[in-house]
Amino acid sequence: MKKKYDLKISYPLNFAERLVSWFETNKRALPWRETKDPYKIWLSEIILQQTKVSQGLPYYLSFVEKYPTVSSLAAASEEEVLRMWQGLGYYSRARNMHFAAKYIRDECEGKFPTTYEEIIKLKGVGSYTAAAISSIAFNEKKPVVDGNVLRVFSRIFGVEENVATNTGKNIIYEITNALISEEKPGAYNEAVMEMGATCCTPKQPNCFNCIFSEECFTRKNGWQERLPVNKKEVKKKTLYLNYLVFNESDSVYVKKTSLGNIWKGLFDFFVLERDFIYSKKEEVVSELEHLGIEILENQISGGEKVYRHLLSHREINAKFFVVDLDRSKIFKKFAKENSLSLITISKLQDIPKPILIHNYIDEYF
Ligand code: SF4
């Protein structure tokens, strides 16, 4: 195949064989590497998206224990799955995974699809995940490209193109597609990722012990700090959330979150999203007055602490004010109009909720 980009070094001899052999001797023992079950490989791949192995591992073990088959995952309720996922973030992964499990049960006779083309049709599965599952579980020759793969290849071959762009990604895809092992494409894919995770790390790569140190362009030129070029323009939006925790004796009002896709399906409290967070209780009183609810300042507590929470594209600043209610009819009407449900404080632990809410509840109740 004609290369569209001039690499600074030619393909090393026996590249795939050397890489796979290194992997087989040096790989970390991880439970999803002990199986060829596509369901379990899929679980691990979804859990490990945007998540470190050390953080994802206990979730993987809990999911496999509670849902050992795709049918058992399909039979669970979405709430239960989200509850299990709590703390991992990016909850759309859990919702899509649950949706896909039901699709496999209903449309594929409960059998996990066996080819890249079928796997990529599953909700929440992109080209990377489909390539990983089909190569590892079914030996299909599909190269994966993730952050580790981009770094390893851009360093070995001296690719200076920005790997955050499609052009940069395509160059790396072309390299790995040309080099992928015929016999063991799954092990090859895992090997490149393992090399990026354990040897050719973002900071201070272990060039001294690297099997490609003889050939590597970056090692020969001391470009470890320079490659890969990875410039993402991420502007974080700041959200200011004023949570009002309406409290009636031993119960509080909760609702399915209104904060768009990030926390869809999870529960939080009534929230006022404004351009700032309140510093005084009188601001809460006046907001409530606008909403038709009369409250005295001494019915409000909390609001001293600002909770900060970082998401990939947003920074959240939140305050929680507890509003002690009398059992007025006006509030019941307000609760109904705003889809608020009353639950006992002891039940708060059981509902699926964003980690921000979880941390607040842990501290306050
Ligand atoms: S020699 Fe160094 S920079 Fe090159 S691939 Fe190995 S660890 Fe990465």
pTM: 0.71
- Minimal CA–CA distance to 295: which of 324, 275, 268? 324
pLDDT, tens only, 229-260: 998 766 778 899 999 999 998 899 999 987 76
Pocket flag, ligand 1, residue 230 (CB < 6 Å) = no
2, pLDDT greater than 60: no
In terms of DSSP bridges, do strands 341-344 and 270-274 run parallel, antiparallel, or are they unpaired?
A: unpaired
Active site residue 45: yes
* Residue that is written with structure tokens 């049960």 in the block: 105
20, pLDDT greater than 90: yes
Best mutation site among 19, 150, 219 for ligand 1, i.e. most ligand atoms within 8 A of its Cβ? Answer: 219
Pocket flag, ligand 1, residue 19 (CB < 6 Å) = no
Domain with CATH 1.10.340.30 in the chain: 15-221
Measured in angstroms, how far is the CA atom of residue 130 from the centroid of ligand 1?
27
In whole angstroms, give the CA distance from residue 66 to residue 60: 10
Pocket flag, ligand 1, residue 216 (CB < 6 Å) = yes
The alpha carbons of the chain give a radius of gyration, in whole angstroms, of 25
Residue 166 · residue 174 · CB < 8 Å: no
Res 207: pLDDT: 97
Measured in angstroms, how far is the CA atom of residue 151 from the centroid of ligand 1?
9
Nearest-CA residue for ligand 1 atom 2 is 207
pLDDT, tens only, 25-63: 999 999 999 999 999 999 999 999 888 899 999 999 999
Mean of pLDDT values over 144-165: 95
Pocket flag, ligand 1, residue 199 (CB < 6 Å) = yes
Domain with CATH 3.90.79.10 in the chain: 237-364
Ligand 1 atom with the shortest distance to the CA of 211:
6
Pocket flag, ligand 1, residue 127 (CB < 6 Å) = no
Q: How many CA atoms within 13 Å lie on the side-chain side of 330?
A: 9
Architecture of domain 15-221: Orthogonal Bundle (1.10)
- Both structure tokens of 25: 């001797």
Note the Cα 267 to chain centre separation in Å.
Answer: 19
Instruction: Judge: domain 237-364, CATH 3.40.50.300.
Output: no
In whole angstroms, give the CA distance from residue 117 to residue 110: 17
Measured in angstroms, how far is the CA atom of residue 206 from the centroid of ligand 1?
7
pLDDT band at 261 (very low <50, low <70, confident <90, very high): low
Pocket flag, ligand 1, residue 76 (CB < 6 Å) = no
Measured in angstroms, how far is the CA atom of residue 107 from the centroid of ligand 1?
45
Q: Which residue has the higher pLDDT, 111 or 329?
A: 111
Q: Which residues contact 209 (CB under 8 A, 6 or more apart)?
A: 199
Measured in angstroms, how far is the CA atom of residue 230 from the centroid of ligand 1?
17
E-strand stretches of the chain: 237-248, 251-256, 267-268, 270-274, 300-302, 307-310, 314-324, 341-344
Pocket flag, ligand 1, residue 15 (CB < 6 Å) = no
324, pLDDT greater than 70: yes
In whole angstroms, give the CA distance from residue 78 to residue 107: 19
State the catalytic residue, choosing from 24, 45, 79, 248: 45
Q: What is the DSSP string of 221-243?
A: HT-TTT-S------PPEEEEEEE
